[in-house]
């Protein structure tokens, strides 16, 4: 059995993300228990809303240090929307420090003629890491669904797993390094492509389980 902990910190409806993971064959556990998160096979940090409340809610549940530790442990980890943004050092949206797992800052889209802020709706991914497990069976120009005014600006552009262009601004849509993956868009709202991405994460978790089991046998 593959169990994925979906971290509950009162920053959005978790049902849709859980449903997508379950369709892919995972058992989901919505929890703010550090013990549950640590014992899971993979972790999803979802979130909608603003950066500062997200960090405040994580702090109120004593989850900041455990998430940092779990993210660095090698366990498969997926951040979604605000759950991606808080992985960085800070945001122009507020004053709270982020988790600092990825060096970089969350920046606001710049106003320009012909675009709306927030960026709300469908946009096409340009894949920067085409061999990432998350992109298995995903076309290079796949459409996914966004709702955001802020985007991640990693210090190291090699972290970029995908970008989008909104007006004249090309910005980060996903990042990845080792076991850590995070997306600005909402896979749970992105139709078949989103379900495929969630399924790919479950597949990655299962592959890591299998490799760990083989090491134990060896």
Low-confidence winner among 16-25, 36-45, 141-150 (lowest mean pLDDT): 16-25
Asked if 81 is an active-site residue, the reply is yes
pLDDT digits (tens, 9 = 90+) for 89-122: 999 999 999 999 999 999 999 999 999 999 999 9
* 188 assigned to active site: yes
Per-residue pLDDT for 128 more than 70?
yes
Domains of the chain: 3-217 (3.40.50.880)
Q: What is the value of pTM for the model shown?
A: 0.96
CB 86 within 8 A of CB 51: yes
Catalytic residue among 18, 119, 166, 188: 188
Which residue out of 119, 148, 166, 186 is catalytically annotated? 186
What is the Cα–Cα distance from 24 to 17, expressed in whole angstroms?
11
- Whether the bond between 118 and the residue before it is cis, its omega within 30 degrees of 0, is yes
pLDDT, tens digit, 9 for 90 and up, residues 205-217: 999 988 877 776 6
Euclidean distance between CA atoms 100 and 67, whole angstroms = 11
Contacts of 137 (CB under 8 A, 6+ apart): 196, 200
Over residues 1-33, the pLDDT tens digits come to 899 999 999 987 788 889 989 998 899 999 999
Q: What is the mean pLDDT of the chain?
A: 95
Distances in whole angstroms, Cα of residue 46 to Cα of each of 5, 181, 184, 199: 11, 12, 10, 16
Question: Which residue among the candidates 18, 81, 119, 148 is catalytic per the annotation?
Answer: 81
Look up 186 and say whether it is catalytic: yes
């Amino acid at each position: 059995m593959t169990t994925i902990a979906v971290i509950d910190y009162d920053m959005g409806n978790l049902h849709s993300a859980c449903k997508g993971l379950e369709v892919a064959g995972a058992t989901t556990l919505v929890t703010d228990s550090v013990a549950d998160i640590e014992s899971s096979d993979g972790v999803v940090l979802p979130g909608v809303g603003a950066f500062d409340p997200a960090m405040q809610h994580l702090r109120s549940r004593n989850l900041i240090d455990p998430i940092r530790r779990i993210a660095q442990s090698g366990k498969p980890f997926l951040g979604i929307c605000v759950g991606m943004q808080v992985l960085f050092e800070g945001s122009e949206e507020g004053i709270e420090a982020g988790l600092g797992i990825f060096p970089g800052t969350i920046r606001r889209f710049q106003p320009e003629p012909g675009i709306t802020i927030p960026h709300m709706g469908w946009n096409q991914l340009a894949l920067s890491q085409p061999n990432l497990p998350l992109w298995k069976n995903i076309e290079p120009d796949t459409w996914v669904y966004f709702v955001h005014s802020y985007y991640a600006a990693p210090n190291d552009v090699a972290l970029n797993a995908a970008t989008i262009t909104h007006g004249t601004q090309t910005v980060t849509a996903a990042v990845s390094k080792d076991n850590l993956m995070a997306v600005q868009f909402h896979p749970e709202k992105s139709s078949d492509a989103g379900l495929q991405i969630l399924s790919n994460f479950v597949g990655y978790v299962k592959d890591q389980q299998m490799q760990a089991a083989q090491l134990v046998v060896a």
